């Protein structure tokens, strides 16, 4: 008699999350993307990499998952720790750096921190447009931008004096970083400062945010035939997203979320390059600027389409027929179909005859 195997996800064998915990309300949205990445990696497929080029544009190219995970070891030899701290960054602040969505580890050695976003195509802003203009909404937490900034500082640490020479002349003129009128008055110079910084150091960028796109048939919950793909943003590209979408000319103190993120990143670099450590908590509490504090920024599909637009956004690489090579041993029966991706997976399982209607 064959023993029935427990539900699980492909590729995740070593983890702080047990297979029984892959399916929960706040777990599946990160467990499934990691499993998808492991599956694509073993198929020899690549991710799409959004990075900052020498012209300060967000460009896109293919990237192997070895580079995403920062290891050429097999999936089964890596450890995937969800909602964990990337301890090497703690030295740069006296505040708690908190958890990031995923820390890839080689044994007990952390080798790559990654944020994970599971995003649907099309979103509410693009579903009524031509398909080529469809895009996903991406919502970024303060923890994401702070982790990106910590990684950027970590990788320029050997060039601290050069970085300081770029940042200090402009940033030291700001006396009250929490004063939106002062920030607004200095904003054009801050943007030029960040342009100079990214132009100088963009060769040190690294994969940071793994954005999984899952495509449906318009607003319907049915999976598109070409259903899944992975786009990876570098830390510089994520920062470039809010820098490029900030207004160059301000003055009246009316800052939006993109501009707040730009100002916070500017202060982070100033504190880091002049003092060596950063008061993370102060940056995020003192520089709220009357905006919602639990969300750093949001970009709808009309904005993200400009950066993700490619053949693989139009036709994602992973066909829906691969879905149950990723979700294993009837794991779909543990999902909650009232949530959108869960619902699409559940419906697909019914269509494939895996679940009785």
pLDDT of residue 220: 86
pLDDT of residue 237: 98
Q: Among the residues of the chain, which ranges form H helices?
A: 28-42, 65-69, 142-155, 160-171, 180-201, 235-244, 257-275, 280-286, 301-308, 311-314, 323-326, 340-351
Candidate from 7-16, 218-227, 344-353 with smallest mean pLDDT: 344-353
pLDDT of residue 3: 65
Q: Determine the Cα–Cα distance for residues 197 and 165; give it in Å rounded to an integer.
A: 10
Summarize pLDDT for 53-75 with one digit per residue, the tens: 999 999 999 999 999 999 999 99
Q: Average pLDDT of the chain?
A: 93
Given a cut of 50, whether residue 1 has pLDDT beyond it is no
pLDDT of residue 336: 76
303-332 mean pLDDT: 96
User: Where do the domains of the chain lie?
Assistant: 8-351
Given a cut of 60, whether residue 280 has pLDDT beyond it is yes
Given a cut of 80, whether residue 293 has pLDDT beyond it is no
């Amino acid at each position: 008699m064959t023993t029935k195997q427990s539900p699980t996800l492909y590729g995740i064998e070593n983890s702080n999350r047990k297979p029984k915990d892959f399916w929960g309300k706040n777990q599946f949205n990160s467990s499934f993307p990691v499993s998808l990445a492991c599956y694509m990696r073993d198929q020899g497929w690549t991710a799409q990499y959004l990075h900052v080029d020498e012209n300060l544009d967000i460009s896109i190219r293919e990237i192997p998952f070895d580079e995403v995970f920062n290891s050429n070891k097999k999936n089964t030899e890596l450890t995937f720790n969800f909602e964990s701290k990337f301890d090497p960054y703690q030295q740069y602040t006296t505040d708690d750096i908190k958890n990031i969505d995923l820390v890839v580890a080689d044994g007990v050695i952390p080798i790559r921190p990654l944020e994970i976003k599971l995003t649907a195509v099309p979103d509410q802003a693009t579903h009524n447009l031509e398909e080529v203009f469809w895009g996903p909404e991406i919502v970024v937490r303060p923890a994401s931008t702070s982790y990106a900034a910590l990684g950027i500082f970590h990788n320029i640490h050997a060039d601290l004096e050069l970085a300081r020479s770029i940042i200090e002349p402009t940033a030291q003129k700001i006396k009250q970083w929490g004063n939106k009128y002062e920030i607004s008055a200095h904003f054009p110079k801050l943007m030029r400062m960040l342009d100079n910084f990214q132009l100088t150091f963009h060769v040190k960028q690294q994969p940071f945010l793994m954005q999984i796109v899952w495509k449906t048939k318009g607003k319907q919950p049915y999976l598109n035939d070409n259903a899944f793909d992975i786009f990876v943003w570098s830390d510089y590209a994520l920062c470039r997203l809010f820098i490029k979408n900030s207004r160059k000319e301000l003055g009246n103190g009316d800052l939006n979320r993109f501009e707040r993120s730009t100002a916070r990143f500017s202060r982070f670099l100033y504190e880091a390059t002049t003092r060596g450590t950063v008061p993370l908590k102060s940056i995020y509490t003192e520089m709220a600027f009357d905006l919602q504090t639990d969300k750093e920024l949001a970009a709808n599909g009309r904005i993200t389409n400009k950066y993700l637009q490619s053949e693989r956004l139009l036709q994602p690489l992973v066909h829906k027929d691969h879905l149950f090579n990723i979700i294993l041993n009837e794991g779909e029966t543990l999902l909650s179909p009232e949530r959108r991706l869960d619902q699409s997976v559940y419906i697909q399982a019914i269509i494939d005859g895996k679940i009785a209607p």
